[in-house]
């Protein structure tokens, strides 16, 4: 279905009860950022800035006692506990690679609609999740979950399967393009591994805790999900949203965004912009890491708003555990004050249950279950009486 201005009737509030006007976009220090003055200003700018953490000089085999290393571990741990989202600079993913992939994404989304339509049909025939989607829809009361103004190119699973999907989807691209995409994925993977080491250390676990548990099977199985999101400008921003509020159902998401804002994270009862910072990667704690850390780290509720003026592109790299791996909080994180919060989770079963739960909620009109985290907590949390913060 083409992206079109096929305005439909609807109210100002999305299916999940969140009004688009609750958030705002503001100017970034790097300029060239979409602004929307009709949205309310934040009350306390200082307190409501997403942490930007510089990890220059962090080395995996560095001296554990170095002040610099401890500072980085403590900043990242604090950000995961309080925000569930933060930006990292000097992460080691080469800027040239980011620029190359950005250029390729732009070229892909600029292809004529009939070519993209062919790619959509071909990739969706091959796979339900590894494909090119178009979700350029304004709100339709009969199908509220379909409110999303976005195209995306998504791949998951093993490197080989991913590679063939990239090749099939990017029919008109050269072999070097595919190589660049792979180098980029590999580079983000390396950074993700480094981050997992920092996170384990921050929780007081052996620094290899997450890596050991993920790596022993990782050589044959790489269950990643890579999504390149494209948000065309939209003249009816009050009637749609780039991505509705959600949490990512993974361990970590590593995201690059161009210098157009739009990503917002929920903090308390309001949304705060994740302003594009030159060279930074955005890191999101996913639901599985929240469960694995026994609730110490919080998965971030986030959404994307669209602009009337500028297109936006982002690249989300979602890290999952191997299919057969069961995520369970380690005993070091459980005591009388911190009781076991989540059931053991196999992420494939969890995703299936979430999806099925969503379908049931949609059919029954139970909109509370469409709120981010509500279904996840219902499925996975042992102590259901805990307040859901979204
Ligand atoms: O476009 C963005 O900044 C965020 C994308 C996102 O939340 C996702 O792909 O899960
Ligand atoms: Fe997300």
Nearest CA to ligand 1 atom 10: 248
In terms of Cα–Cα distance, which of 243, 363, 341 is closest to 292? 341
Vertex 273, ends 318 and 210: CA angle to 5°?
30
257 CA: nearest ligand 1 atom: 3
How many angstroms separate the CA atoms of 153 and 123, rounded?
Answer: 10
Residue of 100 and 368 predicted with greater confidence: 100
Cα-to-centroid distance, 62 and ligand 2 (Å): 32
Instruction: Answer with the residue of higher pLDDT: 176 or 280.
Output: 280
pTM equals 0.84
Evaluate if residue 381 carries a pLDDT over 80. yes
Grade residue 26 by pLDDT with cuts at 50, 70 and 90: very low
Q: Which ligand 1 atom minimizes the distance to the CA of 312?
A: 1
Task: Return the percent helix, strand and coil in the chain, to nearest 5.
Answer: 35, 20, 45
Centre a 10 Å sphere on the Cβ of residue 19 and count the other Cβ atoms it contains: 11
Q: Examine the pLDDT at 331 and tell me if it is beyond 80.
A: yes
Q: How far, in Å, from the CA of 24 to the mean position of ligand 2?
A: 18
For 117, the token pair is: 């339509």
Query: Which of 304, 306, 310, 311 should be mutated for ligand 1, with most atoms under 8 A from CB?
Result: 304
> What whole-number distance in Å separates Cα of residue 259 and Cα of residue 31?
8
User: What ligand has the least distance to the C-alpha of 149?
Assistant: 1
Least confident span in 42-46, 239-243, 341-345, 380-384:
42-46
Q: What is the pLDDT of residue 108?
A: 83
Measured in Å, residue 343 CA sits from the centre of ligand 1 at: 27
290 vs 329: CA distance, rounded Å: 9
Among the bound ligands, name the one nearest to the CA of residue 153: 1
- pLDDT tens for residues 45-98? 445 789 999 998 876 555 556 888 889 999 999 999 999 999 999 998 998 888
Q: What is the mean pLDDT of residues 28-50?
A: 45
**Highest mean pLDDT, choosing among 76-80, 321-325, 357-361:** 76-80
Tell me the CA–centroid distance for residue 387 and ligand 1, in Å: 25
**CA 332 to ligand 1 centroid distance, Å:** 32
**Contact of 225 with 156, CB cutoff 8 Å:** yes
How far is residue 307's CA from residue 298's CA, in Å, rounded to a whole number? 28
- Both tokens of 266, joined, read 């929920």
pLDDT value for 285: 98
pLDDT at residue 218 is higher than 60: no
Which residues have any ligand 1 atom within 6 Å of their CB?
227, 229, 243, 248, 255, 257, 263, 302, 304, 314, 316
For residue 213, the model assigns a pLDDT of 80
Please report the domains of the chain, with CATH numbers, ordered by start residue. 25-336 (2.60.120.330)
| Token pair belonging to 100 | 């190359």
How far apart are the CA of 119 and the centre of ligand 1, in A? Answer: 22
> Residue 280: which residues within 8 A CB-CB, separation 6 or more?
52, 87, 88, 89, 91
For position 217, what pLDDT does the model report?
A: 53
Ligand nearest to the CA of 242: 1
- Number of the ligand 1 atom closest to the C-alpha atom of 248: 10
Higher pLDDT residue, 222 or 258? 258
CA nearest ligand 1 atom 1, residue: 314
pLDDT at 45: 47
Ligand of minimum distance to the alpha carbon of 243: 1
Q: What is the mean pLDDT of residues 323-332?
A: 92
Among 33-37, 52-56, 216-220, 373-377, name the one with the lowest average pLDDT: 33-37
Cα of 314 from ligand 1 centre, angstroms: 7
Q: Is residue 370 pLDDT above 90, yes or no?
A: no
Q: Please identify, by atom number, the ligand 1 atom nearest to the C-alpha of residue 303.
A: 7
């Amino acid at each position: 279905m083409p992206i079109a201005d096929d305005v439909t009737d609807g109210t100002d509030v999305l299916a999940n009860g969140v009004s688009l006007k609750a958030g705002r976009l503001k100017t970034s220090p790097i300029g060239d950022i979409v602004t929307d003055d009709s949205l309310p200003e934040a009350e306390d700018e200082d307190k409501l800035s997403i942490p930007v953490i510089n990890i220059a000089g962090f080395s995996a085999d560095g001296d554990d006692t170095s002040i610099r290393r401890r500072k980085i571990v403590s900043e990242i741990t604090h950000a995961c506990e309080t925000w569930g989202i933060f930006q990292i600079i000097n992460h080691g993913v080469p800027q040239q690679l980011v620029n190359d992939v950005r250029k390729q994404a732009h070229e892909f989304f600029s292809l004529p609609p009939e070519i993209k339509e062919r790619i959509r049909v071909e990739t969706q025939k091959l796979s339900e999740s590894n494909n090119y989607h178009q979700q350029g829809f304004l709100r339709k009361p009969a199908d509220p979950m379909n409110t999303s103004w976005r195209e995306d190119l998504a791949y998951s699973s093993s490197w080989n399967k991913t590679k063939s999907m990239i090749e099939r989807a990017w029919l008109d691209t050269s072999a070097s393009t595919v190589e660049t995409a792979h180098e980029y994925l590999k580079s983000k993977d390396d950074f993700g591994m480094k981050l997992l080491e920092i996170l384990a250390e921050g929780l007081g676990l052996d620094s290899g805790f997450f890596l050991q548990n993920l790596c022993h099977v990782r050589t044959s199985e790489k269950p990643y999900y890579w999504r390149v999101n494209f948000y065309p400008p939209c003249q009816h921003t009050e009637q749609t949203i780039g991505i509705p509020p959600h949490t990512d159902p993974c361990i970590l998401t590593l995201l690059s965004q161009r210098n157009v804002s739009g990503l917002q994270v929920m903090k308390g009862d309001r949304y705060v912009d994740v302003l594009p910072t030159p060279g930074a990667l955005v890191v999101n704690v996913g639901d599985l890491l929240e469960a694995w850390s026994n609730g110490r780290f919080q998965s971030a509720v986030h959404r994307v708003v669209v602009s009337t003026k500028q297109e936006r592109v982002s690249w989300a790299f979602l890290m999952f555990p191997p299919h057969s791996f069961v995520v369970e909080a380690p005993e070091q994180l459980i005591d009388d004050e911190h009781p076991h919060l989540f059931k053991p989770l196999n992420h494939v079963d969890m995703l299936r249950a979430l999806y099925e739960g969503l379908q049931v909620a949609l059919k029954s009109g139970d909109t509370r279950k469409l709120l981010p985290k509500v279904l996840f907590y219902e499925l996975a949390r042992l102590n259901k009486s805990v307040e859901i913060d979204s």
